[in-house]
A = this chain, B = another copy of it.
Amino acid sequence: MLSERRLEVLRAIVQDYVGTEEPVGSKALTERHRLGVSPATVRNDMAALEDEGYIAQPHTSAGRIPTDKGYRLFVDRLAGVKPLTAPERRAIQNFLDGAVDLDDVVGRTVRLLAQLTRQVAVVQYPSLTRSTVRHVELLAMAPARVMLVLITDTGRVEQRMIDCPAPFGETSLADLRARLNSRVAGRRFTDVPQLVQDLPEAFETEDRGTVATVLSTLLETLVEETEERLMIGGTANLTRFAHDFPLTIRPVLEALEEQVVLLKLLGEAKDSGMTVRIGHENAHEGLNSTSVVSVGYGSGGEAVAKLGVVGPTRMDYPGTMGAVRAVARYVGQILAES
């Protein structure tokens, strides 16, 4: 059990280390913080904190730096979420309000987050699985060729070209379009399969093959595109921790390029509320020296996707968390309006 003062010492160490990026010693601590005790006392506390594994020294005659466990305690018990300033909020709103379509919203969000946190930003596109269908369109491109266009409530559009087993008349196509939309429009993606199950039966025998093909393509699209997309930005910020270069950033850049890795990362985060994963808490090895702050966002009360930032474990957690939360809220609003 750690005394109140020792927690205070840990907090001071984290804050100083985040600020200076250098190991912090007992003397510097007493000078920069009003702890009300002498360096010697702080040394004792630091020894205790080190025994407990919250801090460590890089080498014998150096100050201490927080361990992953230390950051964890800091985030959980010692730090709040720092709200943004009014000008920052206004800037966010203005910047996001200019977006013209979904791509633009996501693009702006990623730039905004990267700029605010000065770290790498990751924004997931609104997920199809948690979205609802706004409209399904079928376009005859040729006698036996149909284009399927799928539009979600968040404005995302997916299209597929379908080669039909037999020519398909314009009236049949219109019929299918109407039946399809009346069943699935406004419904959740996950519900679609059973909603269209018996649709072929409503058609003439000669058209059933085509209807089945269209439906299976639709279902495929739902499944395949569950493979989410995401956008990243601010990688140039990685160069800010130029110390342990390039050993550190190489694996991080590689991890960022593997969208699968990132998606898994975001997937592991809680669906609601903010998630902070520190250092080795991240399953992916390349990200062992980074922390990931993520949060879900959505147009209504419910989260349809996640966004967050990836930065060094030595990051300004309160500020980062504040920025991430604020951006998520505004993006949610924008999506709800559009």
Identify the stretch in A43-51, A234-242, A317-325 within 8 Å (CB) of chain B at 4 or more residues: A234-242
* Also in contact, A137 and B149, with CB within 8 A (given A239-B249, A254-B236): yes
Cα A144 to Cα B233 in complex, Å, equals 37
Whether B139 lies near A147 (C-beta < 8 A) is no
Whether A246 lies near B239 (C-beta < 8 A) is yes
For this complex, into which size category does the number of interface residues on chain A fall? Answer: 20 to 34
Cα A236 to Cα B232 in complex, Å, equals 14
* Also in contact, A137 and B135, with CB within 8 A (given A157-B157, A159-B151, A257-B233): no
User: Which B residues are CB-close (under 8 A) to A239?
Assistant: 246, 249-250, 253
Additional pairs, 18, CB under 8 Å, beyond known A239-B250, A242-B245: A100-B224, A101-B159, A103-B229, A135-B139, A135-B141, A135-B147, A147-B151, A151-B159, A155-B161, A157-B157, A157-B159, A161-B338, A235-B235, A235-B253, A236-B254, A236-B256, A239-B249, A242-B246
| Copies of this chain held together in the complex | 2
Indicate if A329 sits at the interface (CB-CB under 8 A). Answer: no
Q: Which A144-198 residues have C-beta < 8 A from chain B?
A: 147, 149, 151, 155, 157, 159-161
Indicate if A118 sits at the interface (CB-CB under 8 A). Answer: no
Min CB gap A186→B, angstroms: 12
Cα A234 to Cα B155 in complex, Å, equals 30
Which A residues fall within an 8 A CB radius of B? Answer: 100-101, 103, 134-135, 137, 139, 141, 147, 149, 151, 155, 157, 159-161, 224, 229, 233-236, 238-239, 242, 245-246, 249-250, 253-254, 256-257, 338
Kindly identify which residue among B147, B235, B250 contacts A257, using a CB–CB cutoff of 8 Å.
B235
Cα A4 to Cα B338 in complex, Å, equals 67
Look across to chain B and name the residue whose beta carbon is closest to the beta carbon of A255. B236
Cα A99 to Cα B338 in complex, Å, equals 31
Whether A236 lies near B224 (C-beta < 8 A) is no
* Also in contact, A141 and B134, with CB within 8 A (given A234-B257, A235-B235, A254-B236): yes
Min CB gap A241→B, angstroms: 9
Cα A239 to Cα B242 in complex, Å, equals 12
Cα A42 to Cα B57 in complex, Å, equals 54
User: Which B residues are CB-close (under 8 A) to A139?
Assistant: 135, 137, 151
Cα A259 to Cα B109 in complex, Å, equals 15
Cα A103 to Cα B159 in complex, Å, equals 11
Min CB gap A109→B, angstroms: 14
User: Which B residues are CB-close (under 8 A) to A238?
Assistant: 253
